[in-house]
Amino acid sequence: MHGFSLENAAGREADPVGGSPGRGDHISPEEASAACSRLFAEYPLAVTPPSAEDGNRSMVLVKGGTRQPAFFVLTQDGDDLFAIRSWHDTISQEIRPDQNIPGLVGRILAEAMPVPRGSAVLGWVSDRRVTAILAAEGGQPATQQVPDIYVMPRSLSSELDWPPFTTSPLGDWRLWDHVARGLIVDIAPLLTRRAGYTFWAPGPYGRNAGCFVVKRHLVAEDYWLPAGVYLDHWMLREGVRAPLPGLLLTTPGAVDLALHSCLGTGS
């Protein structure tokens, strides 16, 4: 496991976009373009802002399967010009109103789930309190590293307060259901609001995954983030005890999140 890094930033099987999964085999160019537009409009937490390289917005989609999930990158160039490619470029298809759409691409648009953008930092809210941080890893096609989401509860918290999809957040459409209900929120603005309050530190005991260190309670309009150390749930299940915050902050590589520009933020 590589773990979430600042440098890189089972539930419902399908949530139809522009029709039921079966319609993907016969999707028209107009339906495909409309489905792409809705994805970018309805899942802002999945959208990577326009890049300096080409000015295009993008998002990653994941489609579950019998073996391993498949990842795709959907890009938008202009209002109605889209393109989709598989993670390792075995599939590449422009989506234009005047171009036929292969059935496979239609099924991807109908069934694949948007993935929170790389380096997005979200919070799981229980009774107005953030009990776990969800850290999205964008992945790197060149190194075969695929996107992931690391669920990082507060140390010493009860598993009853963890998200129901803690062990397998990717491909679980409940994630977006919870976003719609306000149970998952974007906490990057809160983490970066003021220097000296929140930090990222390398993980304990030589682990690759790091920790979020929150030095004091942080309050937003609809929720609050308790002070403490937030680390990968697998470590907590294994009985790993988080070091004291003061010790973590003296670890080489610890950074103040308010002074770091790599947390995922929207456009």
pLDDT, residue 193, reads: 92
Residue 220 lies in a domain: yes
| Domain extent at residue 45 | 21-115
Same domain assignment for residues 133 and 103: no
| Residue 256 banded pLDDT, cuts 50, 70, 90 | very high
pLDDT, residue 205, reads: 60
- Mean pLDDT, to the nearest integer, of 181-209? 86
Distance, CA of 107 to CA of 182 (rounded, Å)? 29
Distance, CA of 136 to CA of 123 (rounded, Å)? 11
Distance, CA of 93 to CA of 160 (rounded, Å)? 44
DSSP label at residue 90: S
Tally of CB atoms within 10 A around 121: 27
* For residue 260, pLDDT beyond 70: yes
Residue 252 lies in a domain: yes
| Residue 119 banded pLDDT, cuts 50, 70, 90 | confident
Percentage of the chain exceeding pLDDT 90: 51
Same domain assignment for residues 134 and 181: yes
* For residue 267, pLDDT beyond 50: no
b/e 254-264 (16+ beta carbons within 10 angstroms → b): eebbeeeeebb
With contact defined as beta carbons under 8 Å apart, do 107 and 86 qualify?
no
What is the pTM assigned to this prediction?
0.84
pLDDT, residue 240, reads: 79
pLDDT, residue 161, reads: 92
Same domain assignment for residues 212 and 141: yes
Q: Which SS3 state, helix, strand or coil, does residue 138 take?
A: coil
- Mean pLDDT, to the nearest integer, of 4-8? 41
Same domain assignment for residues 99 and 201: no
Residue 43 lies in a domain: yes
Give DSSP secondary structure letters for 15-29.
Answer: --SSS-GGGGGG--H
* For residue 154, pLDDT beyond 70: yes
Same domain assignment for residues 166 and 255: yes
pLDDT greater at residue 47 or residue 173? 47
Residue 107 lies in a domain: yes
Residue 248 lies in a domain: yes
Q: What is the pLDDT of residues 76-97, one digit of tens each?
A: 987 778 999 999 878 899 998 7
